[in-house]
Amino acid sequence: MGDAADVRDGTHSSPNYYETGYPLVTSKNLTEYGLDLSDVSFISLCDFNEINKRSKVDEGDILLGLIGTIGNPILVDKSGYAIKNVGLIKEKEELKNIFLVQLLKSSTFNNYIFQKNTGNTQKFLSLDTLRNFNFLCPKIEEQTAIGNFFKQLDETIALHRRNCIKFQNLKTAYLENIFSTKYIQIQNENKNAWEQRKLGEVGYCQSGIGFPEREQGRKKGIPFYKVSDMTLIGNELIMVTSNNYVSEEQILKNRWKVINSIPAIIFAKVGAALLLDRKRLVLNSFLIDNNTMAYILNEQWDYYFCKTLFDTIYLPQLSQVGALPSFNGKDVENLNVIIPKSKEEQTTIGNFFKQLDETIALHQKELAKYQQIKAACLEKMFVK
């Protein structure tokens, strides 16, 4: 790379930091989605000018982390900051940065980094190592075409990511407003008052059961959900698919009790997955393993209002101190919640959030789809 591009880095010194001043970008500010200045440090004008004497960042340059977090290359679209412990690649005539930045995101470059860092206690990429990276390079016209193709993909990914964040923030704001004390007090002035109930008064919890490995792997039958199934595509809101199904024969042989009381909400009850605080609706008969718990709704609930209310409850707060975080059904059933007496009002609120959740899920699916497309294209485009 050193033959085809101007490869440098930022300062290695530690200037004084101030409340305000000139931004100093480090590897923590380089993300897979671009430059993040939300947590940037500030330096004086004197230090800013001194650093930029040898490593001034211009539009069209490439930045990538060299220490700690290695990689995360970005194509600079605006300047006005200095850099520390960050690689800086300036374009020459024979190599287009719009092409090179995608190569640096590929497994070809990542494998090269991994090989050079094997055995090192601290992740570090030297300038010599960066300059000595060898790769196949097409003609300028093809570089430009490839770079523009990936640029369009990146813009599509960024669009869906922004939409995900926008609608998630919108949901958070509505949740805070609708389930706030002020809103509930206003409703209490009307006939459709909200009332405080314990979750155990309007439903009950049921823990999962052991699921031996020898019984796993079937693709038809009753779904036997594990916590990991919540991350499957299509299960963003409602559980519609599973990695494991069981037959009637298996159910009888093992004396398992299928959960036919639906709707239900499932969530992790033990281990690191508990801390992720994921909840999913289940609308068909199912089984769950012993790392999972279900809250069974009674007839007083609108099912999607209940799911929405559960989204406001931080279940990890119930976890007990021990080798593994965990909680039991009584912990959940003893939680106090405030709900409308009117099921019609529940349904109105539930339908509103259902539409919002479906919009979020749509953008999440599109985001995942285009990320997979890009990963596959990078793999095919840049051969090892």
pLDDT at residue number 118? 60
Domain 194-340 sits in CATH 3.90.220.20: yes
pLDDT at residue number 33? 85
Q: Which of 146, 138, 139, 141 is nearest to 102 (CA)?
A: 146
Class of domain 6-137: alpha beta
Q: Do domains 141-190+344-383 and 194-340 have the same CATH topology?
A: no
- Whole-angstrom distance, CA of residue 325 vs CA of residue 293: 14
Task: Tell how strand 194-198 and strand 336-340 pair up.
Answer: antiparallel
Q: How many CB atoms lie within 10 A of CB 258?
A: 14
pLDDT at residue number 184? 57
pLDDT at residue number 120? 62
Quick check: 25 and 63 in contact, CB under 8 A?
yes
Q: What is the DSSP string of 246-298?
A: E-HHHHHHHT---B---SEEEEE-BSHHHHH--EEEE-S-BEEBTTEEEEEE-
Name the residue with tokens 């789809």.
Answer: 369
Domain ranges of the chain: 6-137, 141-190+344-383, 194-340
Spell out the per-residue pLDDT of the chain, length 384, in tens.
Answer: 988 999 999 999 999 999 999 999 999 999 988 899 989 999 999 999 999 998 999 999 999 999 888 889 999 999 999 999 999 999 998 999 999 999 999 999 988 988 887 656 567 888 999 999 999 889 999 999 999 999 999 999 999 999 999 999 999 999 988 887 655 555 555 555 788 899 999 999 999 999 999 999 999 999 999 999 999 988 999 999 999 999 999 999 999 999 999 999 999 999 989 999 999 999 999 999 999 999 999 999 999 999 999 999 999 999 887 778 889 999 999 999 999 988 999 999 999 999 999 999 999 989 999 999 999 999 888 866
The model's pTM is 0.75
Sign of the C-alpha dihedral computed for residues 346, 352, 355 and 359 taken in this order: negative
- Hey, what long-range contacts does 354-361 have (CB within 8 A, 24 or more apart)? 354/237, 354/304, 356/167, 356/170, 356/171, 356/174, 357/171, 357/236, 357/237, 358/237, 359/167, 360/164, 360/167, 360/168, 360/171, 360/236, 361/236, 361/237
Q: Which of 22, 100, 17, 31 is nearest to 57 (CA)?
A: 22
CATH fold of 141-190+344-383 = Helix Hairpins (1.10.287)
